[in-house]
Structure 1
Amino acid sequence: MKILNKILIALFVVGFATSCSDDYFDVNDSQNSPVSSTPPLSLPVAQKYTVDVLQGGYNSMNTLGNLWSYSWAAGGDYVYFTDETLYLVTSGFRTGIYENAYVLPLRNYDVIEKNTDPKYTNYVAIAKIMKSFHFQYLVDAYGDVPYSEALQGAANTTPVFDDANAIYDDLIVQLSAAQDLIANADASALVPGSGNDVMLHGDMAMWSKFANTLKLRILLRQSEKAGLVSQADFDAAVNNGIGFLGAGENILCNPGYLNDTNKQNPFYAAFGKTVAGDPAANANATRATDYAISKLSVDPRRAFIYKNVGTGTTYAGIAQNNVGGPNSASLSGIGPGVLSSASQDGVIMLAAESLFLQAEAASKGYIVGDAESFYNAGVQASFDYLGAGSAAGYLTSYPFPNSTAVNLEAIIYQKWVALIGINGFESWIEYRRTGFPADLPVAPNQTNSTVIPVRLLYPTSEYAANPDNVPTQSSGDAFTSKVFWQN
């Protein structure tokens, strides 16, 4: 509770983030003249913003991802999620995914990274890691974005758009630099306490493993397109003895969420209950898809990913855009393993995701290890996070195929299940990369496309503030103009 109170009263420390205009973040009196702060004050603020952008409310990345990876739909008695499921993707669609990433977490991490006091070496390393985390998602969603000239405040309000592939290459460099800072920090370097690092509580070895896991994700994201990465890239970047996130090593964030006004976990505040115990704004409208309920029909995790209907033991879903179809009361909502309490942790990366990355990398020969063991551990990690018990029986019925032709399909399917409700954005990205799950439906009753969108479009604000640099796009690009790593 004290941590969250400190965050809520902290000075939000930086000025102009990128080319976005002042009205996107109206906290300081002047965004062009930032007030002063210190890394210990700024870090928990930035980390809280990471949760808000990634997994927060209706406008979060997670919500959009769950709609575009066909995990969520609206009950038939709600006209809800219409732009998302009708694929009405324009420069005015979901602009916060772009704008908020720059204005909230990135500019706070950037100020920390620019601190030159040696005692804040570990804070600088954390900031580098988290900036890389956010920039990867910006590239994955938009392609070319402001990077080398971004976050300079009034010094440059019209940054260039860097090549997406070049950004990816530099993210590996930045993550390696962060690992070097951690490894070589001297005795004067402060280790963040639990109140200053509300993600990993100053465990710098874990921060280094998280950085290595992010590098693995960056490299694997490119691995389905010929010519982008090689064994040498993996050897140089991740086969370094640091290792990756393993079983039980979820990257979570909790600044002190509790059931009080403006202090609930933002995901719970949007989809769970109000402080008074009433359904939250999006709770009754948000329901399982018929596709997801069917796919999980013999999966014990279904009872934790989705709720049973009423007081019975049945589970039911609905097709997207089925206005007038089964009403919400007869359908399954978000389950107790995903949505548990006002004080639940925000999820940055699950151990299950890391283990599935390792399973894929081992299957392709990029890292040493047994792909089947990583796969089994990933499924068990998903069961563990959801509270679903042992996965042994499930794995007996649905074992790792150990066949090059279908290994990736099995891994990505399990990742899709593990991330339902938790990080749907990652599932949407992985579907674009791999085409799995192969039977993922295109939203019915929409007329804009026969495919799930392949990218987001730059927001209107960027065209207004930075017209000479923002790439020209048309509405059709959301369905045809692929990010560099897509086939």
Structure 2
Amino acid sequence: MKRKYIAYSLFLIASAFSSCKKDFLDQTNNPNQPTTGPASVVLTGALTTTARNINTGFTLEGYLMGYWSPAAGYAPGNSLLTYQFTTGDYQVFAPFYLNLANYDYIIKQSGTDKSQVYFAAIAQIMEAYNFQALVDNYNNVPYSEAFQGAKNLTPKYENGKDIYAKLITKLDDAIAAIKGASTDVVVNPGSADVMFGGDMTKWRKFANSLKLRLVLRQVPNVIDAAAAKTLMANNLSEGFLTTMANVNPGYLNVDGKQNPFWERYGENQAGSNNAANITANAFGTDFYSSNADDRGAGFYTPINGNLVGNDFGTLVPITASAIGRADLYNASASNTFGLLKNPSMDAVVMSAAESYFLQSEAALRGVITGDAAALYNSGVTASFEYVLKTADADAKAAKYLSQTGIAYPVLDANGNPTTPAQKLQAIITQKWASLNGYGNLEAYNEYRRTGFPKVPVSIYTGVTVKNIPRRILYPASEYAQNASNVQAQGSINQFTSNIFWAQQVTSN
């Protein structure tokens, strides 16, 4: 039967989503029954699913990046503590391909219809977003031959580097299409766009920010700063995100309709903690505590006024701080403080802080024009604003940035000018500090690219390879259903098989 084949061979349309917000999260229909639908309906479902995938699919990376640790009283599998993954562990392959089929449908349905240009452009931008995540997890993946249905059930794999190049072109084309749309005929997606509400200026800025992420991800291990500058030369006038890229189709405190991050790591409707097995990592709690960082109490629940964490892999974990804020469980939708705000909170797709840190690095390297220090400060401030959501968030960010070890490094401890490498370490470290929880994958990506911050390896006694894994493995379904193409990628090892843009890390 054709249904046994992997997600990229299926034609999934988000027909379960209606144009009414209260029904966007309705799961009563079977999404695996192929059907057709207007681009507006499919777009809403696709954006909502993207938010779910990115907010719930990367618990592993929260452990690897020193944010989280297994809680006392729970027995995590050895595969987690020793990094001995299998082809069945931590998979995001099928969910991402299933949802990419939605965006592919929008593009194909829109065709050359001038009234549908905005829908097609948004779908192109989100294809780039989702395919980047696939490459960042698996390196080489099916691309050009995906979504052909019965015509090709075993699509070939393409090099991750080549896919990146195509995604950059796709983003440039999407920006050009939005700018060149005939305003007298083009249909604005309006409320069907549950990320920017049809604000196409924000979509252009998001596309340009995503392009900067794709370009910088290859620096310095694949391309140099000069090549990156050339790639970013067009569309610089579009600018970059200065606000959050969030999705919210009308989340409710109803099981199956909550914000996906809350649903995964907060509580269900009845009030049961859905992530009681996950608590704070000592690497994370020590960072926020030692730097007088007010965000710490938003990322973790203080215990007697202190943040308490466990070293990842400890044999006897102590009772540590819960992730998020336990005192906000059962909270009303008016609460805004912390990582876990409330069941109806927005789902983060790209944060303003990440955008600012991307710009700061780009300015440091000369890829774009800008003040790297000012952009660094803006990144920290944007993170404080999102996590704290208080009137004094900016003041607290300024106080945090006034510390010698936190301020953008201009001079070292001896009064000598700092090196670009020292400045880069500061940028990536503060980026890591801002991505806690909702940005686990991006933190992991930046660690593999730059080596920052120096996250400790699991201290579990069964660890035989003292390295943080470089990737997850291809899923078992690929070896069963697309064997010749996945086997052509060679022998894949989580410790030695790098994503094309990653630096070689032999020890930690």
TM-score of the pair, normalised by structure 1? 0.89
Matches within 5 A, 1:131-150: 131-150=127-146
Is 2:256 the partner of 1:240?
A: no
Partner of 2:9: none
Q: Deviations over 1:448-475 (max 9, x none)?
A: 4211110111101011111121135688
CA distance in 2, matches of 1:333, 1:370: 34
Moved more, 129-138 or 78-87: 78-87
Measure, in 2, the Cα distance between the counterparts of 1:134 and 1:253: 15
Residues 47-78 of structure 1 deviation map (CA, whole Å, 9 limit, x = unaligned): 1110111102xxx12x1221111110111211
Q: Secondary structure at the match of 2:349?
A: strand
Residues matched between the structures, number: 454
Q: CA deviation at 1:279?
A: 2.1
- 2:321 maps to 331
Task: For 1:16-415, list aligned pairs within 5 A.
Answer: 27-29=31-33, 34-56=34-56, 60-61=57-58, 63-80=59-76, 82-95=78-91, 97-103=92-98, 105-115=99-109, 116=111, 117-186=113-182, 187-194=184-191, 196-225=192-221, 228-247=223-242, 249-280=243-274, 282=275, 284-297=276-289, 298-309=292-303, 312-327=304-319, 330-335=320-325, 336-387=337-388, 389-390=393-394, 391-397=397-403, 398-402=406-410, 403=418, 404-415=420-431
Aligned counterparts of 2:451 and 2:148: Cα–Cα separation in 1: 38
Say whether the 8 Å CA contact 2:215–2:231 is kept in structure 1: no
Counterpart residue identity of residue 159, structure 1: P
Amino acid at match of 2:372: A
Percent of residue pairs identical: 38
Flag structure 2 segments of 5+ consecutive residues without an equivalent. Answer: 1-17, 326-336, 411-417, 504-508
Shift in Å at residue 313 of structure 1? 1.1
Task: Please tell me whether the aligned partners of residues 78 and 323 of structure 1 are also in contact (alpha carbons under 8 angstroms).
Answer: no
Q: Distance in 2 between matches of 1:366 and 1:424?
A: 25
Give CA-to-partner distance per residue, 1:201-236, whole Å, 9 cap, x none: 10101101111111111111111215x245254334
What residue is the counterpart of 1:444 in the other structure? 459
Q: Report deviation, 1:153.
A: 1.5
Give the secondary-structure state (helix, strand or coil) at the position aligned to 1:480: coil
User: Equivalents in 1 of 2:469, 2:227: separation in Å?
Assistant: 33
- Could you tell me the TM-score, scaled by structure 2's length? 0.85
Cα shift readout 1:214-272 (whole Å, capped 9, x = no counterpart): 1111111111215x24525433435534344343x110001100111311112211221
Q: What SS does structure 2 have at the residue aligned with 1:295?
A: helix
Q: Residue 232 of structure 2 contacts residue 368 of structure 2 at CA under 8 Å; is this kept in 1?
A: no
Is the Cα–Cα contact under 8 Å of residues 126 and 178 in structure 1 kept in the other structure? yes
**Mapped partners of 1:474, 1:82: distance in 2:** 26
CA distance in 2: counterparts of 1:223 and 1:197, whole angstroms: 33
Aligned to 1:7: 24
Q: Secondary structure of 1:114's partner?
A: helix
- One-letter identity of the residue aligned with 2:128: S
Shift of 1:430: 0.5
What is the alpha-carbon root mean square deviation over aligned residues? Answer: 2.0
Whether the 8 Å contact between 2:261 and 2:438 is mirrored in structure 1 is no
1:190 aligned partner, one-letter code: V
Query: In the alignment, which residue of structure 2 is the partner of 1:22?
Result: none
Deviations 1:86-134 (A, max 9, x none): 2122211122x1111001x211111011121321110000000000001
> Are the equivalent residues in 2 in contact too, given 1:244–1:354 (CA < 8 A)?
no
Instruction: Tell me, yes or no, if the aligned pair for 1:212 and 1:238 is still in contact at 8 Å.
Output: no
1:237 counterpart letter in structure 2: M
Distance 2:432 2:225 in 1: 26
Aligned-partner Cα distance in 1 for 2:60–2:97? 18
User: Which stretch has the larger CA shift, 236-245 or 210-219?
Assistant: 236-245
Q: Identify the match of residue 456 of structure 1 among 472, 476, 493.
A: 472
Structure 2 counterpart of 1:100, one-letter code? P
Higher relative contact order (CA 8 A, sep 6+): 1
| Cα 1:429–1:152 shift into 2, 3 Å | same
Structure 1: distance between partners of 2:281 and 2:93: 27
SS in structure 2 of the partner of residue 252 of structure 1 = strand
Partner Cα separation in structure 1 for residue 189 and residue 77 of structure 2: 40
**Deviation per residue, 1:426-455 (Å, 9 max, x gap):** 1011100000002x1011114242111101
Aligned-partner SS, 1:157: coil
Structure 2 counterpart of 1:17: none
- Identify the residue that residue 16 of structure 1 maps to in structure 2: none
Structure 2 CA distance for aligned equivalents of residues 126 and 456 of structure 1: 29
Residue ranges of structure 1 left out of the alignment (5+ in a row)? 13-25
Kept in 2, the 8 Å contact 1:3–1:256? The answer is no
Shift of 1:6: 3.3
Q: C-alpha displacement at 1:36, in angstroms?
A: 1.2
Contact 1:215 1:238 in 2 (8 A): no
**Mapped contact 2:300–2:321 kept (Cα < 8 A):** no
